[in-house]
């Protein structure tokens, strides 16, 4: 787990620098004795810490005492240059606001939930006569019923596969649905009932949809009994084709129930959250149970100070985790929270109903918690093992390149373009924990007079834009330790790219180790040539773990650059000349394209033809015409 570089601070119990304490004391004089949230800011205006309090005056006053603080709190107080206060009606509102601000601002001295990617859901759409079943991420704005969250895309895909096999629901888009003239392959392999071509009517499809909703709501036993009864009735009526279809659906339903893993009988809807601490790190494991089914689990590794305990980390995690997710009615915990009643009340306020937080001591619920705790212990063990291997690799890299210490932040740069078009630069970041994807960046090349395909010029622009602010901060305080300052710059290229990068560093007055990695003869992996300022080009021993690590870094930068370039190129291809005309929104653009058939036809149209389009006024028609033909 990566940690910010330590900030010089007084020993516990020693006097605090007067600046930080004086600032806080000045704020205390105007604070109300009411609930709210406070933010502590440093001299650059960056947020150091976000906290909540039942009594703002009493809570902030504690920071002015000249002793009894840990090193972390003492350093935070010493760096405080100003404070911001938000008053709330209740302490529960303060807790919710605190969690939101911590997730958004990521203050240095708070416990931070990292890798908080959105969870996938299953959506049964409600805006079409024949509902579509799809995987969904992001805002739940489309009409329909949402089921989830699922722990991973794999868990969703398995369930979607079951819905196709058992309930024969369509997965195609509305556009494909409308254009079908005959059933697709999914109908042939009995994965869809083909409502697109009338193989099933709206009433029959509605019954399938109701059965799918019952399945996702956990009513598996009654559904299976009903299907069995229908199969027997079809067999007695000598409708063997229908009976065989029902038999296949029952088999698929039985198979998915057998592979669900732990299916508790006493818990229908709950999240099970367990925390395990070891070697100064904490793993939080979350299991999702919905409709009596296990919908997967995910491990999290929050950023925190080493002295933070499991219960403290767990409380901060829960407040942030449910900031943008639906809250279940029951949350089972491995540790009692310091303010469990307050957290439960705040989650209930957000959910609009009672939310119960339990730390079970026996029974099936305790078995669920123990299972989650075992998974947290194993996940943290794997992470510690990977971290140890990563540490050895970084130590070997420092030795190979003559660095003073193993790098904590490596930035790798690559460019991507096709004959100079849609050119961009990409930066990836790696460190003791591996790739830090939240820090990846792309740079659209803006230099107007840059020759197409000028890789050196592109590298100069990218590095200048990345490092200019870093140089300004270093000038303000040369002794400042910036967690975003790279310890090594790795450039994809040869001597030319190295010279371009070195010129940027010299111009900005920065002293950062620099290495360029060039592909081997015939682009042979394992024969890469390395370039460093003041040193002859060299190779690393074939089979060296450090060489493999550098290849991974280079390949990841290349993958990210190529992917970003393709996304930009696809967006450019999809762009329309009509997008450049002021006053032409989606509705008018659609009217023009529907009337003329293509943007090129709009471009060639005369003024009278444009005025004839429904929804296009004379003034707008003239604006479109003049955009393509000029004032004349």
Per-residue model confidence as pLDDT tens digits over 264-285: 667 778 899 999 988 788 999 9
Which of 193-197, 362-366, 583-587 has the weakest average pLDDT? 583-587
Residues 287 and 310 in one domain: yes
Residues 492 and 623 in one domain: no
Q: What is the CA radius of gyration of the chain?
A: 30
Most confident listed range (4-13, 81-90, 470-479, 480-489): 81-90
Strands 82-87 and 133-136: unpaired
> How many CA atoms within 13 Å lie on the side-chain side of 366?
4
In a domain, 219, yes or no: no
Looking at 87, 105, 123, the residue that finishes a domain is 105
Contact by Cβ (8 Å): 24, 48: no
Residues 441 and 508 in one domain: yes
Strands 82-87 and 36-41: antiparallel
- Checking if the pLDDT of 320 tops 80, the result is yes
Which of 15-29, 34-48, 158-172, 465-479 has the weakest average pLDDT? 465-479
Per-residue confidence (pLDDT) for residue 215, from 0 to 100 = 74
In a domain, 41, yes or no: yes
The confidence band for 117, taking pLDDT boundaries of 50, 70 and 90, is low
In a domain, 331, yes or no: yes
In a domain, 144, yes or no: no
Q: CA 402 to CA 546: how far, in whole Å? A: 13
The confidence band for 210, taking pLDDT boundaries of 50, 70 and 90, is confident
**b/e string for 48-64 if b means 16 or more Cβ within 10 A?**
bbbbbbbebbebbbebb
Looking at 531, 549, 572, the residue that finishes a domain is 572
- Residue labelled with tokens 């015409």: 625
- Checking if the pLDDT of 550 tops 80, the result is yes
Greatest extent of the chain over all pairs of C-alpha atoms, in Å: 92
Of 137, 129, 196, the closest CA to residue 168 belongs to 196
CA distances from 246 to 190, 191, 228, 249 (A): 11, 13, 8, 5
Residues 416 and 500 in one domain: yes
CATH of the domain at 46: 3.40.1440.10
- Checking if the pLDDT of 243 tops 50, the result is yes
In a domain, 321, yes or no: yes
Residues 442 and 562 in one domain: yes
Residues 292 and 363 in one domain: yes
Which helix H or strand E contains 395, and what residues bound it? Answer: helix 363-401
| Helix, strand, or coil (residue 325) | coil
Per-residue confidence (pLDDT) for residue 479, from 0 to 100 = 44
CATH of the domain at 348: 3.30.420
Give CA angle at 531 (526, 536), nearest 5°: 105
Which residues are CB-contacts of 181 (< 8 A; sequence separation ≥ 6)?
Answer: 197
Domain that holds residue 57: 18-105
Q: Determine the distance from the C-alpha atom of residue 494 to the mean position of all C-alpha atoms in its chain, rounded to a whole number.
A: 34
Rounded average pLDDT over 135-164: 80
Q: CA 261 to CA 579: how far, in whole Å? A: 51
Residues 451 and 517 in one domain: yes
Of 475, 471, 503, 500, the closest CA to residue 485 belongs to 471
Strands 441-444 and 421-431: antiparallel
In a domain, 532, yes or no: yes
* First and final C-alpha spacing in the chain: 66
Of 308, 327, 325, the closest CA to residue 316 belongs to 308
Residues 518 and 611 in one domain: no
The number of domains in the chain is 4
The confidence band for 13, taking pLDDT boundaries of 50, 70 and 90, is very low
What value does the mean pLDDT of the chain take?
82
CATH of the domain at 504: 3.30.420.340
CATH of the domain at 601: 1.10.150.20
Q: CA 336 to CA 119: how far, in whole Å? A: 26
Residues 284 and 428 in one domain: no
Of 275, 268, 317, the closest CA to residue 294 belongs to 268
CA distances from 289 to 19, 164, 347, 364 (A): 51, 22, 18, 13
Per-residue confidence (pLDDT) for residue 574, from 0 to 100 = 54
In a domain, 55, yes or no: yes
User: Tens digit of pLDDT for each residue in 420-442?
Assistant: 566 788 999 998 888 888 889 98
The confidence band for 632, taking pLDDT boundaries of 50, 70 and 90, is very low
Residue with more model confidence, 45 or 249? 45
- Checking if the pLDDT of 9 tops 50, the result is no
Contact by Cβ (8 Å): 61, 22: no
Q: CA 103 to CA 323: how far, in whole Å? A: 9
- Residue labelled with tokens 């620099």: 514
Range 136-144 contact pairs with CB under 8 angstroms and sequence separation of 24 or more: none
Tell me the percentage of the chain whose pLDDT exceeds 70. 85
pTM of the predicted model as reported, rounded to 2 decimal places = 0.63
Rounded average pLDDT over 399-421: 85
Residues 527 and 602 in one domain: no
Residues 415 and 563 in one domain: yes
- Residue labelled with tokens 């598996």: 220
Q: CA 149 to CA 156: how far, in whole Å? A: 9
Looking at 555, 572, 589, the residue that finishes a domain is 572
In a domain, 197, yes or no: no
Per-residue confidence (pLDDT) for residue 394, from 0 to 100 = 92
- Checking if the pLDDT of 249 tops 80, the result is no
Q: CA 309 to CA 547: how far, in whole Å? A: 38
Contact by Cβ (8 Å): 445, 463: no
Tell me the percentage of the chain whose pLDDT exceeds 90. 20
- Indicate the angle between helix axes 240-258 and 153-167, nearest 10 degrees: 160
- Residue labelled with tokens 């293509």: 598
Per-residue confidence (pLDDT) for residue 116, from 0 to 100 = 58
- Checking if the pLDDT of 104 tops 70, the result is yes
The confidence band for 400, taking pLDDT boundaries of 50, 70 and 90, is very high
Residues 469 and 489 in one domain: yes
Which of 116-120, 345-349, 404-408, 593-597 has the weakest average pLDDT? 116-120
């Amino acid at each position: 787990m990566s940690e910010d570089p330590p900030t010089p601070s007084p020993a516990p119990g020693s006097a605090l620098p007067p600046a930080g304490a004086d600032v806080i004391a000045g704020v205390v004089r105007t604070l109300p004795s009411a609930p709210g949230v406070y933010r502590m800011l440093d001299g650059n205006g960056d947020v150091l810490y976000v906290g909540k309090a039942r009594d703002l005056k009493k809570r902030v006053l504690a920071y002015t005492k000249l002793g009894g603080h840990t090193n972390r709190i003492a350093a935070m107080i010493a760096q405080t240059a100003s404070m911001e206060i938000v008053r709330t009606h209740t302490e529960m509102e303060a807790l919710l606001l605190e969690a939101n601000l911590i997730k958004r601002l990521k203050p240095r001295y708070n416990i931070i939930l990292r890798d908080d990617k959105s969870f996938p859901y299953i959506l049964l759409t409600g805006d079409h006569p024949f509902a579509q079943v799809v995987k969904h991420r992001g805002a739940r704005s489309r009409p329909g019923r949402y089921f989830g969250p699922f722990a991973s895309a794999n868990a969703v895909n398995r369930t979607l596969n079951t819905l196709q096999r058992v309930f024969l629901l369509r997965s195609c888009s509305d556009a494909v649905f409308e254009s079908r003239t005959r059933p697709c392959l999914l109908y042939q392999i009995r994965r869809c009932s083909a409502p697109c071509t009338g193989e099933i009517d709206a009433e029959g499809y509605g019954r399938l949809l109701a059965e799918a909703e019952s399945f996702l709501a956990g009513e598996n036993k009654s559904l299976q009994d009903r299907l069995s009864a229908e199969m027997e009735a079809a067999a007695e009526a000598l409708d063997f084709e229908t009976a065989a279809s029902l038999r296949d659906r029952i088999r698929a339903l039985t198979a998915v129930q057998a592979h669900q893993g732990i299916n508790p009988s006493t818990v229908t809807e709950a999240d099970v959250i367990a925390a395990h601490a070891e070697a100064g790190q904490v793993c939080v494991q979350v299991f999702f149970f919905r409709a009596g089914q296990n919908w997967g689990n995910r491990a999290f590794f929050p950023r925190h100070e080493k002295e933070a305990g499991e219960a403290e980390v767990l409380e901060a995690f829960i407040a942030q985790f449910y900031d943008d997710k639906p809250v279940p009615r029951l949350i089972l915990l491995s540790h009692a929270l310091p303010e469990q009643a307050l957290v439960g009340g705040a989650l209930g306020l957000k959910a609009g109903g009672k939310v119960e937080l339990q730390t079970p001591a026996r029974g099936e619920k305790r078995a669920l918690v123990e299972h989650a705790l075992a998974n947290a212990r194993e996940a943290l063990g794997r992470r510690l093992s990977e971290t140890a291997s990563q540490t050895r690799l970084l130590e070997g890299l420092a030795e190979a390149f003559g660095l003073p210490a193993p790098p904590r932040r490596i930035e790798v740069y690559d460019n991507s373009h096709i004959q100079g078009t849609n050119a961009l630069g990409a930066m990836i970041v790696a460190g003791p924990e591996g790739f830090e994807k939240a820090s990846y960046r792309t740079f659209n090349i803006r230099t107007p007079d840059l020759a197409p395909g000028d890789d050196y010029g592109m590298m100069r622009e990218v590095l200048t834009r990345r490092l200019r602010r870093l140089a300004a901060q270093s000038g303000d305080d040369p002794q400042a330790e910036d967690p975003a300052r790279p310890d090594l710059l790795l450039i994809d290229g040869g001597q030319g790219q190295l010279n371009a990068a070195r010129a940027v560093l010299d111009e900005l007055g920065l002293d950062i180790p620099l290495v360029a990695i060039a592909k081997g003869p015939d682009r042979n992996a394992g024969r890469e040539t390395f370039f460093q300022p003041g040193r002859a080009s060299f190779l690393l021993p074939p089979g060296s773990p450090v060489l493999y690590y550098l290849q991974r870094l280079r390949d990841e930068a290349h993958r990210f650059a190529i992917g970003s370039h393709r996304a930009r190129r696809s967006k450019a291809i999809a762009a329309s000349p009509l997008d450049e005309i002021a006053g032409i929104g989606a509705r008018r653009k659609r009217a023009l394209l529907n009337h003329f058939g293509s943007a090129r036809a709009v471009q060639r149209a005369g003024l009278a033809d444009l005025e004839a389009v429904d929804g296009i006024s004379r003034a707008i028609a003239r604006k479109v015409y003049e955009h393509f033909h000029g004032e004349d």
